[in-house]
């Protein structure tokens, strides 16, 4: 009975730890340093390819809550980050060498960890894995090597379920939108119940002021390896504007079929916001993928009436990123529907960020062990013990990956919008509601731990 983990990044290292700490041997296959990805520079485990920050540690923040829950499940990545911590206010920033060394040291100390420096190019079939009594966890990240990516694509059921680029539109906190400036309607009144979209109309002057601001805003430079060939269907708004100042009015800001009840007419231009969850606590900006720098997005989008005080759960971005449409492809335990002996972990499942990737590695590791050990339990019983409830931060992230949002699936980070909404109470502001969300998440997490005797 063996577990093989492919990829020794954030997710793979965490998954290895979750396996060995339960007394099961693990074999890690990592292609570095023999073959580097375009972003990695060393052969170190859990190399941080860019910033050295694992985001906030604050107890009342979403990333802080994620780390607190992970730590309760003995996360090696969070423990190593705390050991390698450097001063950075409320952020958990690390010395990257000490961080990687701590991870290797603990894995090696377990006596159950073997590292093989090799590129994996193919995935065994379910029958082969069964015969060898093996489970595989694939955690090869946003820059998965080409031949394995082809194997993952096949397991996922084809090219429609594996993406090589993120073209992400911003997601806004519903409470921060001035709803009075908008109206609810579907184009040509096609939806039920008056409509599913929140529309923010712009007059002529507002539209051109917005276009000019996008044109002059600072954009993110692409990395050398990011020779992006955009799909026509999801061009960044600034690329559309380069084709002409009217392009957005005929694209994502098209007003046709959208009658503003206050004027009885179609507006000059219109931005549609779509619900990201059924609680309507988050809205995404439809067709608004962009590579403007994040502070520039916050500044420029203020020019759209209704978004003057908008707060963002996620900004737009465009970058190289291999990820699959997990909700259609994976079971609730993160194994492939088409081969339940192969689990997927990390950024490739559709999460974004170092800690989030490690979090999905943690859950995949727990589930892989459960699949090997708990043969007498039903699938649902196993999930209930391996995945925290969906009203916790960690559980909400896994739930996003396996169940998905209402709209299009695109990579997600840990944020308040994933947690259940809390009632608005007079005299209590947004910060109070966020603190309440985190406190409820932690209560639920603690209750889950003690009810199931989980360690």
Ligand X SMILES: Cc1cc2nc3c(=O)[nH]c(=O)nc-3n(C[C@H](O)[C@H](O)[C@H](O)COP(=O)(O)OP(=O)(O)OC[C@H]3O[C@@H](n4cnc5c(N)ncnc54)[C@H](O)[C@@H]3O)c2cc1C
The closest alpha carbon to 214, from 204, 226, 206, belongs to 206
The correct pick among 317, 347, 367, 399 for binding ligand X (CB under 6 A) is 347
Which residue from 12, 306, 316, 417 is in contact with ligand X, where contact means CB under 6 A?
Answer: 12
Q: Is 64 in the site for ligand X (CB under 6 A)?
A: no
Residue from 18, 37, 75, 281 in contact with ligand X (CB under 6 A): 37
**Region from 96-104, 143-151, 169-177, 330-338 binding ligand X, contact rule CB under 6 A:** 143-151
Judged by CB under 6 A, does residue 145 bind ligand X? yes
Task: Please identify, among the stretches 139-147, 156-164, 280-288, 293-301, the one whose residues bind ligand X according to the rule CB under 6 A.
Answer: 139-147
Closest residue to ligand X using C-beta atoms: 9
Residue 63 touching ligand X (CB under 6 A): no
Q: Does 365 bind ligand X (CB under 6 A)?
A: no
Binding residue for ligand X, selected from 2, 22, 39, 228, defined by CB under 6 A:
39
* Shortest reach from residue 35's CB to ligand X, in Å: 7
Q: Are strands 197-202 and 53-56 parallel, antiparallel or unpaired?
A: unpaired
Query: Contact between 412 and ligand X (CB under 6 A)?
Result: no
Stretch that binds ligand X, among 74-82, 155-163, 272-280, 341-349 (CB under 6 A): 341-349
Among 354, 400, 416, 448, the residue binding ligand X under the rule CB under 6 A is: 354
Q: At closest approach, how far in Å is the CB of 11 from ligand X?
A: 3
**Which is it for strands 26-30 and 113-117: parallel, antiparallel or unpaired?**
parallel
Listed ranges 64-72, 136-144, 286-294, 438-446: which one lies at the site for ligand X (CB under 6 A): 136-144
Q: Does 139 bind ligand X (CB under 6 A)?
A: yes
Residues 228-267 that bind ligand X (CB under 6 A): none
Q: Does 357 bind ligand X (CB under 6 A)?
A: yes
Shortest spacing between CB 37 and ligand X, in angstroms: 5
Q: Of residues 18, 72, 100, 144, which one binds ligand X by CB under 6 A?
A: 144
Q: Which of residues 252 and 350 has its CB atom nearest to ligand X in the complex? A: 350
- Identify which of residues 7 and 182 has a Cβ nearer to ligand X in the complex: 7
Beta carbon nearer to ligand X, 7 or 236: 7
Q: Is 49 in the site for ligand X (CB under 6 A)?
A: yes
Region near ligand X per CB under 6 A, out of 18-26, 180-188, 295-303, 352-360: 352-360
Instruction: With CB under 6 A as the rule, give the number of residues binding ligand X.
Output: 34
The least CB distance from residue 273 to ligand X, in Å, is 26
SS3 track for the chain: CEEEEECCCHHHHHHHHHHHCCCCCEEEEECCCCCCCCCCCCCCCCCCCCCCEEEECCCCCHHHHHHHHHHHCCCHHHHHHHHCEECCCCEEEECHHHHHHHHHHHHHHCCCEEEEECCCCCCCCHHHHHHCCEEEEECCCCCCCHHHHHHHHHHHCCHHHEEEEEEECCEEEHHHCCHHHCEECCHHHCCCCCCCEEEEEECHHHHHHHHHHHHHCCECCCCCCCCCCCCHHHCCHHHHHHCCCCHHHHCCCCCCCCCECCCCECCCEEEEEEECCCCCCEEEECCCCCCECHHHHHHHHCCCCCCCCCCEEECCEEEEEEEECHHHHECCCCEECCEEEEEECHHHHCECCHHHHHHHHHHHHHHHHHHHHCCCCCHHHHHHHHCCCCCCHHHHHHHHHHHCCCCCCCCECCCHHHCCCCCCCCCCCHHHHHHHHHHHHHHHHHHHHHHHCCC
Select the residue interacting with ligand X from 11, 174, 318, 438 (CB under 6 A).
11
Residue among 6, 177, 330, 396 that touches ligand X (CB under 6 A): 6
411 close to 323: Cβ distance less than 8 angstroms: yes
How far is Cα 145 from Cα 169, in angstroms, rounded to an integer?
26
What track of x and - describes contact with ligand X for positions 83 through 122 (by CB under 6 A)?
Answer: ------------------------------------xx--
- How far from the centroid of its chain's Cα atoms is residue 392's Cα? 16
293: contact with ligand X by CB under 6 A = no
Residue 205 touching ligand X (CB under 6 A):
no
Torsional class of 84: left (φ above 0), alpha (ψ -120 to 50), beta (otherwise)? alpha
Residue 175 CB neighbour total at 10 angstroms:
18
Report if residue 148 touches ligand X, rule: CB under 6 A. yes
Interface with ligand X (CB under 6 A): 6-12, 29-32, 37, 39-40, 49-51, 119-120, 139-145, 148, 223, 346-348, 353-354, 357
């Amino acid at each position: 009975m063996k577990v093989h983990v492919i990829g020794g990044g954030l997710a793979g290292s965490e998954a290895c730890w979750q396996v060995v700490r339960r007394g099961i041997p693990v074999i890690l296959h990592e292609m570095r340093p023999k073959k580097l990805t375009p972003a990695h520079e060393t052969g170190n485990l859990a190399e941080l390819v860019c910033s050295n920050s694992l985001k906030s540690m604050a107890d009342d923040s979403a990333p802080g809550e994620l780390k607190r829950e992970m730590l309760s499940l003995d996360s090696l990545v969070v423990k190593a980050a705390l050991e390698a911590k450097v001063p950075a206010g409320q952020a958990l920033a690390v010395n990257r060498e000490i961080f990687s060394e701590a991870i290797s040291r603990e894995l090696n100390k377990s006596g159950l960890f073997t590292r093989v420096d090799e590129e994996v190019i193919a995935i065994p079939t379910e029958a082969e894995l069964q015969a060898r009594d093996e489970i595989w966890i694939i955690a090869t990240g946003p820059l998965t090597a080409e031949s394995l990516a082809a194997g993952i694509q096949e397991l996922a059921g084809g090219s429609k379920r594996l993406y090589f680029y993120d073209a992400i539109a911003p997601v806004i906190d519903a409470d921060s939108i001035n709803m009075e400036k908008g109206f609810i309607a579907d184009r040509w009144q096609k939806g039920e119940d008056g409509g599913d979209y929140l529309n923010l109309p712009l007059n002529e002057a507002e539209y051109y002021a917005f276009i000019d601001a996008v044109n002059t805003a600072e954009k993110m430079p692409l990395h050398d390896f990011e020779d992006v060939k955009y799909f026509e269907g999801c061009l960044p708004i600034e690329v559309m504007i380069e084709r002409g100042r009217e392009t957005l009015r005929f694209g994502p800001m098209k007003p046709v079929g959208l009658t503003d009840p206050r004027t009885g007419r179609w507006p000059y231009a219109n931005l549609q916001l779509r619900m990201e969850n059924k609680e309507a606590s988050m809205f995404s900006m439809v067709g608004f993928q962009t590579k403007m720098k994040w502070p520039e997005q916050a500044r420029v989008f203020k020019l759209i009436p209704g978004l003057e005080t908008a707060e963002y759960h996620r900004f737009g971005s465009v970058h190289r990123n291999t990820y699959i449409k997990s909700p259609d492809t994976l079971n609730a335990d993160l194994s492939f529907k088409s081969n339940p002996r192969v689990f997927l972990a990390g950024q490739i499942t559709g999460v974004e960020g170092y800690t989030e990737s490690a979090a999905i590695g943690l859950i995949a590791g727990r589930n892989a062990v459960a699949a090997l050990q708990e043969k007498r339990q039903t699938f649902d019983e196993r999930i209930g013990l391996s995945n925290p409830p969906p009203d916790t931060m960690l559980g909400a992230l896994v739930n996003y990956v396996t169940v998905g949002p209402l709209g299009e699936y695109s990579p997600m980070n840990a944020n308040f919008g994933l947690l259940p909404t809390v009632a608005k109470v007079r005299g209590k502001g947004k910060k109070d509601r966020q603190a309440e969300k985190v406190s409820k998440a932690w209560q639920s997490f603690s209750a889950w731990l003690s009810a199931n005797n989980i360690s």
